[in-house]
């Protein structure tokens, strides 16, 4: 049995001080950490419960157009916040496509960023895993690679980041606000995750004791609201992680794409923003050739990490479909099964 301390600080400063001790972990919604503890994958010496810290549960639509989301805002509350969903519909769509209603009620914005990969070998304490134990090796390399990376991987680790929420956030230039023993700082979400290299499996840009306090979206995030989609392909239509997903946001002017934002999920150890694909779309009229060219650019350099070459084709096709849907316009109503690629905008199944 793993014995651990449990503390419930009253302020962010107290939380940071409590988490400075070796082996401490922050507890928010607990939807990933508690599973990892039950399975023996995580064995914290101390849990610092931040669920009741004041001020971290606010969604602030600020006068200058920026949007600040406290780290303890629950996923369901953010997705159903009328002003936020109107400004950032692809983010709301991504949130609603994740997990189950019960989990979305418990899971937090900060915890979503911090969730671990769903690589099965990571969750099995008897498998070799560099991400769990430095230098141990990677059993996934000769194992089941169906859900593993096709971009940005190395022999150290081929895992993918499982978040839906982070994919449109990366496309929208979200910033992560962090508090720690050395004070406050912020970093772009696209830099928050390091990719694996020859010697290390990658991870998050957090020093010991640091915690995420908020996310911030820049003022131009809402300028994509009328042409924004998040599509997710999964093995069943709810309560499953993405095999691949795509966030697309377009700012249209007189029938031409003035600006595009593109990120893919399920393909790498971080949400995969493609500025090359975005540049291909800029100043173009939306059509099949342009979308195919953008998809080719987004998947540039993709390589199977095992028996998963199919993911490259799927990601390309899904991105093209997301581009088509975004060009048609954001639906007035969210689909009943958000982000099912088989659902029409009214939620009625469109496939036979
Ligand atoms: Fe661990 Fe990464 Fe290998 Fe999975 S792919 S076993 S997370 S090192």
What is the best residue among 32, 119, 134, 305 to mutate for testing ligand 1's pocket, by most ligand atoms within 8 Å of CB? 119
5-30 tens-digit pLDDT:
999 999 999 999 999 999 999 999 99
25-36 tens-digit pLDDT:
999 999 999 999
pTM: 0.95
Q: What are phi and psi of 315, to 5 degrees?
A: -60, -40
Per-residue DSSP letter, 9: -
Beta-bridge partners for 129? 138
330-348: burial string, b at 16+ Cβ within 10 Å, e else: bbeebbeebbbbebebeee
**pLDDT at res. 352:** 30
148-177 tens-digit pLDDT:
999 999 999 999 999 999 999 999 999 999
**8 A C-beta contact, residue 139 and residue 128:** yes
Whole-number Å distance, alpha carbon 34 to ligand 1 midpoint, is 20
Whole-number Å distance, alpha carbon 159 to ligand 1 midpoint, is 6
Q: In which band, very low, low, confident or very high, does the pLDDT at 348 lie, cut at 50, 70 and 90?
A: very low
CA distance 251 to 222: 10
Show the tokens assigned to 168. 């449109």
* HEC string for 42-91: CCCCEEEECCCCCCCCCEEECCCCCEEEECCCEHHHHHCCHHHHHHCHHH
Q: What are phi and psi of 166, to 5 degrees?
A: -70, -20
For the chain, what is the total number of helices (H) and then of strands (E)? 13, 14
**pLDDT at res. 238:** 80
230 lines ligand 1 (CB under 6 A): no
End-to-end CA distance of the chain: 51
Mean predicted confidence (pLDDT) in 249-267: 98
With residue 94 as reference, give the H or E element that holds it. Answer: helix 89-96
Maximum Cα–Cα distance across the chain:
64
220-255 tens-digit pLDDT:
999 999 999 999 999 887 889 999 999 999 999 999
Ligand 1 nearest-atom number relative to CA 156: 8
Q: Does residue 339 surpass a pLDDT of 70? A: no
Summary mean pLDDT of the chain: 94
Mean predicted confidence (pLDDT) in 306-311: 97
Q: In which band, very low, low, confident or very high, does the pLDDT at 257 lie, cut at 50, 70 and 90?
A: very high
128-147 tens-digit pLDDT:
999 999 999 999 999 999 99
CA distance 98 to 115: 13
CA distance 8 to 52: 8
CA distance 146 to 135: 23
Integer angstrom CA distances of residue 38 from 31, 32, 41, 95, 196: 11, 10, 8, 26, 27
Residue among 44, 150, 29, 177 nearest 98 (CA): 29
CA distance 260 to 51: 36
Whole-number Å distance, alpha carbon 292 to ligand 1 midpoint, is 32
Whole-number Å distance, alpha carbon 197 to ligand 1 midpoint, is 13
Least confident of 76-90, 246-260, 294-308, 327-341: 327-341
CA distance 126 to 329: 48
Q: In which band, very low, low, confident or very high, does the pLDDT at 337 lie, cut at 50, 70 and 90?
A: low
Residue among 336, 162, 322, 340 nearest 234 (CA): 340
What percentage of the chain carries pLDDT values higher than 70?
95
**pLDDT at res. 120:** 96
H helix runs in 253-309, sequence order = 275-281, 288-298
Show the tokens assigned to 322. 């997301």
Residue nearest to atom 3 of ligand 1 (CA): 138
**pLDDT at res. 343:** 57
**pLDDT at res. 128:** 98
**pLDDT at res. 172:** 98
**8 A C-beta contact, residue 267 and residue 285:** no
């Amino acid at each position: 049995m793993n014995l651990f301390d449990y503390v419930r600080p009253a302020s962010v400063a107290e939380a940071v001080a409590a988490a400075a001790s070796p082996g401490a972990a922050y507890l928010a919604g607990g939807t990933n950490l508690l599973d990892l503890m039950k399975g023996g994958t995580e064995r914290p010496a101390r849990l610092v419960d931040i669920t009741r810290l004041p001020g971290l549960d606010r969604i602030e639509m600020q006068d200058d157009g920026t949007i600040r989301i406290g780290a303890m805002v629950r996923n369901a509350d953010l997705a159903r916040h009328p002003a936020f969903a109107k400004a950032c519909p692809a983010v709301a769509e991504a949130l609603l496509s994740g997990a189950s209603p019960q989990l979305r009620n418990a899971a937090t914005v900060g915890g979503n960023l911090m969730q671990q990969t769903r690589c099965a070998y990571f969750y099995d304490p008897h498998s070799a895993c560099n991400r769990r134990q430095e230098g141990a090796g990677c059993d996934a390399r000769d194992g089941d690679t169906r859900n593993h990376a096709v971009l940005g991987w190395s022999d150290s680790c081929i895992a993918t980041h499982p978040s839906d929420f982070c994919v449109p956030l990366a496309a929208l230039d979200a910033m992560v606000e962090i508090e720690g023993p050395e004070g406050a700082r912020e970093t772009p979400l696209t830099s928050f995750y390091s990719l694996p290299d020859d010697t290390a499996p990658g991870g998050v840009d957090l020093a010991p004791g640091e915690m995420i306090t908020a996310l911030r979206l820049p003022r131009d995030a809402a300028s994509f609201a009328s042409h924004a989609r998040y599509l997710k392909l999964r093995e069943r239509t709810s309560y499953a992680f993405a095999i691949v997903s795509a966030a697309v946001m377009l700012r249209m002017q007189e029938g031409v794409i003035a600006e595009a934002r593109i990120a893919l999920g399920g393909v790498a150890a971080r949400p995969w923003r493609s500025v090359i694909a975005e540049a291909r779309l800029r100043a173009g009229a939306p059509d099949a050739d342009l979308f195919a060219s953008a998809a080719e650019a987004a998947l540039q350099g993709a390589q199977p990490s095992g028996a998963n070459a199919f993911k490259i084709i799927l990601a390309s096709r899904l991105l093209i479909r997301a581009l088509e849907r975004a060009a048609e316009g954001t639906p007035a109503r969210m689909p009943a099964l958000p982000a099912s690629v088989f659902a029409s905008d009214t939620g009625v199944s469109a496939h036979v």
